[in-house]
Amino acid sequence: MKTAFLFGSLNRGGLETLMLDVCQNLKQSDFEAIGIYRKGGVLENDFIHSGVPFTKVSTGKNLFNYLRRLRKEIKNSKVTIIHAQQPIDALYAKLATIGLNVKVVLTFHGFDFEERSKLVHFIIKRTDRNIFVSQYQQDYYTRKFQLKPEKQIVVYNGINFNKFDNPENLNQPNEIRNELKIKPSTCLLGMVGNFNPGRDQMTVCKFLNKLKETDADFHFLFVGKRVESCAERYDDCVRYCKENGLEWNVSFLGVRNDVPQILSQLDAFIYSTEHDTFGIAVVEAIATGIPVFVNDWKVMREITEDGKLAKLYKTKDFNELLEKFMVFLHNKEKYQKQAIENARKVREKYSIEKYIENLTSLYQSL
């Protein structure tokens, strides 16, 4: 059994981070793998040195020529399973393996709200197995496309928690406070995620405005980039904070490479989503051992075990979020003790080792 991970680009994103963790933690006793990608990206060098052999096969202007070269790479490498990360790559895999005894697996990392529906409709019924990252997501696709249940499976995302246990996190416990000149007594809060469709930073901004009215001493960190294709989502939040006098209470940090270190320094993590499919940022925050507040979107209910691992609030309801957060402010010790137990649970359930174990079982069943 030999698997080829098929990628578009190797830029920094949720699926790329997940698959890089897979490549870096894959053992010979799991399964043999190679990587094939169409475009480079900021993580290209990391993938190349991950321990899994990677080959670039560019599409170019001639699609037929690309499929021919992809087929040659698959045959020469004696690949038996192709695991695509996007519908378009699953389609390329099916076309390139016509007549070959090669199985095609496709992971859906998001919803199809912005996908070309004809492409999804065509390929989703022609793969050998579709992987979904939450039960809610699988149910959505199964209903919409009337899929055969036996060809669908949920494999929860995995996270390499070793990066959260780096000794540097313990040696520099106040690094972000020192960088931003935040007092040790100030309650440090944060949210991680790019400003794109699917996330809802504006609800958090409205919550912060209400929190300011209570005279609470806090500072909030938004970690995530301004996405050019939907720049208004970022710009509106910045404008709202300025108009409501929150400039000294809120920092927009953009993209950071030290998210594990930042999370370890927070007193609490606040998150709001519109349609996340899994919520890696939420799981990472819980795994850090800090109290987490997240809205009751169905996926978040699922990954937090219906609110056992994080405090849920009604979606878009910043007033309810404020009420629940104020309870935390007056019972920090109790919440922090529970957060440590929650961290233990998510590290068992969502580890990268567990994810690889589930992939191995899936591949062997094909």
If phi over 0 gives left and psi between -120 and 50 gives alpha, with beta otherwise, what is residue 99? left
Rg of the chain, C-alpha, whole Å = 22
In angstroms, the CA 53 to CA 47 distance is: 8
Amino acid at 240: Y
Burial label for 324, CB within 10 Å (0-12, 13-18, 19+), is middle
Nearest to 325 by CA among 214, 240, 159: 214
For position 36, what pLDDT does the model report? 98
Amino acid at 318: F
In angstroms, the CA 145 to CA 140 distance is: 9
For position 29, what pLDDT does the model report? 87
For the chain, strand residue ranges (E) read: 2-7, 32-37, 54-56, 81-84, 103-108, 129-132, 152-154, 187-192, 218-223, 250-254, 268-271, 292-295, 311-313
Q: Which are the contacts of 267, defined by CB distance < 8 A and separation ≥ 6?
A: 187, 188, 189, 290, 291, 332
> Which domains can be identified in the chain, with CATH numbers?
2-160+351-365 (3.40.50.2000), 161-349 (3.40.50.2000)
In angstroms, the CA 324 to CA 126 distance is: 46
Burial label for 297, CB within 10 Å (0-12, 13-18, 19+), is buried
Nearest to 179 by CA among 256, 243, 293: 256
Q: What is the largest CA-CA distance in the chain?
A: 69
Question: pLDDT 10s digit of each residue in the chain, 366 long?
Answer: 999 999 999 998 889 989 999 999 999 889 999 999 999 999 999 999 999 999 999 998 999 999 999 999 999 999 999 999 999 999 999 999 999 999 999 999 988 766 567 899 999 999 999 999 999 999 999 999 999 999 999 999 999 998 888 766 555 678 999 999 999 999 999 999 999 988 999 999 999 999 999 999 999 999 999 999 999 999 999 999 999 999 999 999 999 989 999 999 999 999 999 988 898 999 999 999 999 999 999 999 999 999 999 999 999 999 999 999 999 999 999 999 999 999 999 999 999 999 999 999 999 999
For residues 21 and 284, the answer to whether their CB atoms sit within 8 Å is no
Q: Which are the contacts of 167, defined by CB distance < 8 A and separation ≥ 6?
A: none
- Token reading at 246: 């929150």
In angstroms, the CA 193 to CA 281 distance is: 7
For position 114, what pLDDT does the model report? 60
Residue 314 CA to chain centroid, in angstroms?
22
For position 261, what pLDDT does the model report? 93
Amino acid at 285: A
**What pTM was estimated for this model as a whole?**
0.88
For position 115, what pLDDT does the model report? 55
Residue 195's DSSP bridge partners are 226
For position 53, what pLDDT does the model report? 98
Torsion of CA 147, 364, 107, 43, to 10 degrees: -170
For position 171, what pLDDT does the model report? 57
In angstroms, the CA 349 to CA 344 distance is: 9
Nearest to 289 by CA among 251, 240, 354, 346: 346
For position 113, what pLDDT does the model report? 67
